[in-house]
Amino acid sequence: MFDRFAEVLLNRPIEGSYTWRIPADWPPGNLEGHLVQLPLRGQSERGIIVRTHQQAMATPTMDLERLLFAAAPLVNSEQIELANWMAESYLCAPGQALFKMLPAPWLKAALPVTGDPPPAMRPDHRLNSQQSAAFESIRGHLDLAGSEQGFAQHLLHGITGSGKTEIYIHAIARALQKGHTALYLVPEISLTVQLIDRLQQVFHNRLALMHSGLAKRDRFLNYLRVRTGQASIVVGTRSAVFAPLQRLGIIIVDEEHDTSYKENSTPRYDGRQIAWLRARNFRIPIVFGSATPRIESRYHATSEASVQHSNWHYHRLQHRATGARLAPVRIEQQRNMDIPIGAALLRALENNYRQGQQSLILLNRRGYHPYVVCQTCETIEQCPHCAVSLNLHRNQRLVCHYCGYSRAWTGVCHCERRQPLRSLGSGTQKLEEYLLHLYPDLRLERLDTDVSHKKGYTNDAIHRLINGDLDVLIGTQMIAKGLDAPEITLVGVLQADATLGVPDFRATERCFSLLTQVAGRSGRGSMAGSVIMECQNPSDPILNLAARQDYEHFYEQEIQLRREAVWPPFCRLLRLLYRHPSADQALQDAEDLAHTLQSLVQHLPTERQSQITLLGPVSAPIEKLHQQYRYHLIIKTSQISLARHILRQGLARQTAKTKSILEIDFDPVDML
């Protein structure tokens, strides 16, 4: 009898797989995709079998220790192929990519009992003419799923409240009718209470939720339901893009402009890119939806070359499904920085409160005071581990919102004179306290990351808002995502222009998108709404475009700037960031790589040298985080495969002598 061997991928930054022998008493058959425990350098570690064979090994091979979940393989062949693609595309280890797809295993879980799922109900909402036109186009490709004509990219560009969700539901129902499954991605699961209720109303228990907010056991059980075919619709955040759905028929990426689709740890994948790849591989339609599409998405969906060669289809929804009009927006100058809310917005809020109507206030700053300054030396209190200011919270602690460092508030500076500190600015905690001081009976809730992590807190707040049990909801940018509360008739935005000065070429796009999205929460029901934005500079053109919710002019302005400066979509970006406790070491390693890459580019044929531009290295805008100094260089390229090849060559020459940690980020969405 021949020995059997297993090629196993580990969750480590190592290329390729390692080989172990399969114990003779293990079950026969193919073990590909199984999670195993194995010996490695005197310790036990977990790995995933990606191939088995009976080829004799030249060197002695150790036995695998244990089959951790014997009931079924946890990953399938498509996921293994996808991990290899990610390793090649993002320059990471395939094991790191494969383990990204797998939720933490709950080894006590039992395999779900197989049974016939209930029939899906037909959506009961009729589509209007604009919705129907978009749906029919999507259905045309959905009905061809799996064929050469099945793959298509649809950009559903609809104003807030235009009924994009109903189009998604009709498309999912059609996919199920044709015997397929569906993947529905959202950027923020906590504010999709209404969406989940609506999907469950139509599709019953065919639905599986996949997101990090679930308990470990529930998340793994939902994954098993998908893996074994018990769930035919997956709704989830970024990592749900890897859901092992069988007979996938359609992929929906809602709020496709949202930056949370980008992973910020190795491998730094973009969920939208993975979704596109899976749609292409399955030969099925993919739908990207937003009221404020990414500049890149809009360009590709409407440029002649992309439409002809990449099978893009652009759908514009210009009216709200209910017939309601977009709320008018007024811009007010913020004159007194010592109080959290201006007089005009406060009057409107009070009037709404007296009339029994609901209001939503966006303030994109957590904490109580965002800055604390010495009155004598004028030094801003900074985190000792990061190059960012400390925020004063209501519990009288100074907190770093990046690394979590905190210390007690003493009220005096650490300078020689030990002078008093002055707290400046307003965060959501101060706004909450201020409003409740003025209106003690106000039914108010605050939603930001300081409270939303509490189990059930966000769902409870959203349900109370929808049921009319709240007068005011205040919060950070999370409240601008997907919230559909028909009784909100006033939206206020504080410090609306605060992010326009961020040193990132996407800063204006983010600001415009956030303001347009949050303005769209007002007046979605039978009552007319209004929006008031407070800012420092009322004449800013971006604010005025957002006030008019004029995406077309914003896009034309922004695309021209990017064309002139050669930013995406007119190039691809690659960010290489070195970090080290020593600033000199981080800079030295970044400079060494830059020199190596520049040398490699200069040895390319002349016509190809222009396809790669190196910028930097320079200090990152946030120079220090988590006690590590950060230096980055940016590669602009019109040929990403060439840039990847050059980088791989450069890293092969650098790895042995590099002391810093290197972060490789293809198509970064954050340049800070």
CA–CA separation, 164 and 125 (whole Å): 12
Neighbours of 396 (CB within 10 A): 11
Asked whether the beta carbons of 650 and 593 are under 8 A apart, the reply is: yes
Of 486 and 252, the structure prediction assigns the larger pLDDT to 252
> How confident is the model over 251-265, as a mean pLDDT?
96
Task: Please give the pLDDT value at position 416.
Answer: 59
To 5 degrees, how large is the angle CA 343–CA 346–CA 349?
A: 155
Cβ contacts of 74 within 8 Å, gap of 6 or more: 33, 34, 35, 48, 102, 105, 223, 227
pLDDT band at 531 (very low <50, low <70, confident <90, very high): very high
Task: Please give the pLDDT value at position 547.
Answer: 95
Task: Please give the pLDDT value at position 114.
Answer: 63
pLDDT band at 57 (very low <50, low <70, confident <90, very high): low
Write the pLDDT tens digit of every residue in 203-247.
Answer: 988 999 998 888 889 999 999 999 999 999 999 999 999 999 999
Buried b (16+ CB within 10 A) or exposed e, 182-207: bbbbbbbbbbbbbbeebbeebbeebb
Write the pLDDT tens digit of every residue in 599-648.
Answer: 999 999 998 999 999 999 999 999 999 999 999 999 999 999 999 999 99
Task: Please give the pLDDT value at position 655.
Answer: 62
pLDDT band at 50 (very low <50, low <70, confident <90, very high): very high
Question: Would you say residue 589 has pLDDT above 70?
Answer: yes
pLDDT band at 41 (very low <50, low <70, confident <90, very high): confident
- State the pTM of this model: 0.94
pLDDT band at 377 (very low <50, low <70, confident <90, very high): confident
Q: Going edge to edge, which strands form the sheet with 233-236?
A: 207-210, 233-236, 181-185, 248-253, 285-290, 152-158, 312-317
Task: Return the bridge partners of 527, or none.
Answer: none
Taking alpha carbons only, the member of 181, 194, 278 closest to residue 231 is: 181
Residue 144 φ/ψ, nearest 5 degrees: -105, 15
Q: Output 542-545 pairs: Cβ under 8 A, ≥24 positions apart.
A: 542/497, 542/500, 542/508, 542/511, 542/512, 543/331, 543/496, 543/497, 543/511, 543/515, 544/331, 545/512
Task: Please give the pLDDT value at position 107.
Answer: 77
CA–CA separation, 261 and 248 (whole Å): 20
Least confident residue range of 27-36, 159-168, 368-377: 368-377
Task: Please give the pLDDT value at position 60.
Answer: 66
Write the pLDDT tens digit of every residue in 598-608.
Answer: 999 999 999 89
Question: Would you say residue 482 has pLDDT above 80?
Answer: no
> How confident is the model over 132-139, as a mean pLDDT?
96
pLDDT band at 410 (very low <50, low <70, confident <90, very high): confident
pLDDT band at 475 (very low <50, low <70, confident <90, very high): very high
> How confident is the model over 187-194, as a mean pLDDT?
80
Task: Please give the pLDDT value at position 452.
Answer: 81
Cβ contacts of 273 within 8 Å, gap of 6 or more: 667
Tell me the two tokens of residue 38: 């194995």
Question: Would you say residue 317 has pLDDT above 70?
Answer: yes
pLDDT band at 115 (very low <50, low <70, confident <90, very high): low
**Local structure of 526: helix, strand or coil:** coil
Could you give the C-alpha distances from 287 to 152, 157, 319, in angstroms and in order?
8, 10, 19
Task: Please give the pLDDT value at position 81.
Answer: 96
Residue 36 φ/ψ, nearest 5 degrees: -130, 160
Task: Please give the pLDDT value at position 306.
Answer: 64
CA–CA separation, 171 and 2 (whole Å): 51
Question: Would you say residue 308 has pLDDT above 70?
Answer: no
CA–CA separation, 322 and 161 (whole Å): 8
Three-state SS across 285-337? EEEEEECCCCHHHHHHHHCHHHHHHCCEEEEEECCCCCCCCCCCEEEEECCCC
Tell me the two tokens of residue 16: 């390729």
Residue 279 φ/ψ, nearest 5 degrees: -60, -40
Mean of the per-residue pLDDT values of the chain:
91
> How confident is the model over 252-275, as a mean pLDDT?
96
> How confident is the model over 377-387, as a mean pLDDT?
89
> How confident is the model over 410-427, as a mean pLDDT?
78
